[in-house]
Structure 1
Amino acid sequence: MVEPDIPYVPEISAKPSLADLLTIESSTSIFYSYARELELSQGLSNKDIRMTLFVPTNKAVMALARKPETMSKLRLRLRTKQYDSYTKTNVERWVSAHIIPEAPIDLEGTHDTLLPGKSITFKPMTKSVKDGGWSRISLEDGIRITGKKEALNGDLYIIDGAISPGSA
C-alpha cells in the first residue's frame, strides 16, 4: 500500500521567538548584531531554552565610552588571531551580562546572568505607572526599562543603558 504524499506543514506558534523579536526590533539592532556572532545566539531561537534579555537601545550602545568590540590600540600590539579571540571574548562577556538564563522572572532582588559572577539587581522606583510594573523598576546604575515584549522562549526588556560586565 502506497502512502499518499503529505505536504509539509511548518510549525506555527502564537508568539515569535526572542530571535524573531530582535530581528524586527530596529531600536536594538546593534545588540543583536553582536549577539548573532556568538554561539549563545542559538538559544534565542530555541523554544526549549527560556531566557530573559535586557537589551540596550542602539542609542545606549552608541553612548558607551568604549564599545564592546573597540580595541584598536590593543590590536596594534596583538597578532590578528589573538585580537580576534580577545574581541570575541569581550563581546561575549558584554552580551552575556544582559541575559538571565530563565524566564519569566520577578523583577526584584538579584538574578544571575549568563556571565559567571555577574548578576543584575532590580530596584523599585518611586514613580507609579500602570503597565504591569516593569516601568517602575530600575537596574543597576539607574538603567530604566523602556519596553517589554514577550516571546515563545522568554521575555525581552528594552533598556535605556548598557549593563557593565564589570570584572566578573
Structure 2
Amino acid sequence: MQLSHLFVFALPFLASASLDEQSVLSSPPNMQSQKSGSDEDYTPMIRPQPTLADLLTIEPSASIYYSYARETELSLDFDTGDQYLTLLVPTNRAVMALARKPHQGPPSTVPIIELSEQQFDEQSKRNVYRWVSAHIIPSRISLSSVPVTYDTLLEGKSVTFIPTSKTGQGSPNWSRVTLEDGSKIISVKQAMNGVLYLIDGTVDPY
C-alpha cells in the first residue's frame, strides 16, 4: 500500500514538470552531474595559426615528403612550438623525378654485399633521416640579401640561396632566389612554429 501511494503521488508531479526537468529527475545522479558540468568545463583548443604539421597535412603536392618525414622522429617537431623551423619541402613531382628514391641512398661505389632484411631496413631508415633533415633549417631565414647560406639539420650540410635574374618590383624576396642547384621556390606558407617553402627540386644530402 505504501508503494502504491508513493507511485500515485509521483505521477502528477512528473506530469507537471517540463521535459528538461523530467530528464534530470529520471537520470541517475552521476549522469546529472556530468551533464551539468560538461558544457562549462570543456574549453576548445584554439591556435592563432596552423602548425607545420597542419600545413603539410592539407598540402597534397607535399604528401611524399611528409610521408618520409613521419618515418622519423623529426616530424614530431612539426606539430610543436618548441623550435622554429624552416622547411624546404619538395613537391611530389620533384621526388618522383629522382633517379634513386630517398630511402635508397646514393649508388654504391663498392661491390654490393648482400644485406639481411634487418640491415637493409636500418640502412633505409638512415637514408630517409639524412634526406628529410637536409630539407630542414633549424632557424628563421632572411632572403632580403642574397647570396646567403644556412646550415640544415643534417650535420655538414648547408643550403645556399642565390639571386636570379628576376628583379620585378614588388615581388616577394623568395620569388627572386633559387637554391644552389637551381631549384625554385614555388610558394611560401607561414605556420605558428615555422615557415614552409615549397620547392620544385630536392636538396641532395650527399
Distance in 1 between the 2:69 and 2:104 partners?
16
CA contact (8 A) 1:140 1:163 kept: no
Q: TM-score, normalised by structure 2?
A: 0.73
Return the letter of the residue paired with 2:151.
D
The structure whose RCO (Cα within 8 Å, separation 6+) is larger is 1
User: C-alpha displacement at 1:76, in angstroms?
Assistant: 8.0
CA contact (8 A) 1:123 1:139 kept: yes
Higher fraction of strand: 1
* Residue from 64, 89, 93 that aligns with 1:30: 64
What's the % identity of the aligned pairs?
Answer: 54
SS at match of 2:184: strand
Q: Which runs of 5+ in 1 are unaligned?
A: none
SS at match of 1:138: strand
Distance in 2 between the 1:131 and 1:102 partners?
24
Within-5 A mapping of 1:85-104? 85-103=122-140
User: C-alpha displacement at 1:132, in angstroms?
Assistant: 2.1
Distance in 1 between the 2:199 and 2:171 partners?
15
What is the RMSD computed on CA atoms of the aligned residues?
2.0
CA contact (8 A) 1:135 1:145 kept: yes
User: C-alpha displacement at 1:99, in angstroms?
Assistant: 0.3
Q: How many residues align?
A: 162
Q: Which runs of 5+ in 2 are unaligned?
A: 1-35
Larger radius of gyration: 2
CA contact (8 A) 2:161 2:178 kept: yes
The equivalent residue for 1:51 is 85
CA contact (8 A) 2:104 2:127 kept: no
> Is the aligned partner of 1:126 residue 2:165?
yes
Higher fraction of helix: 2
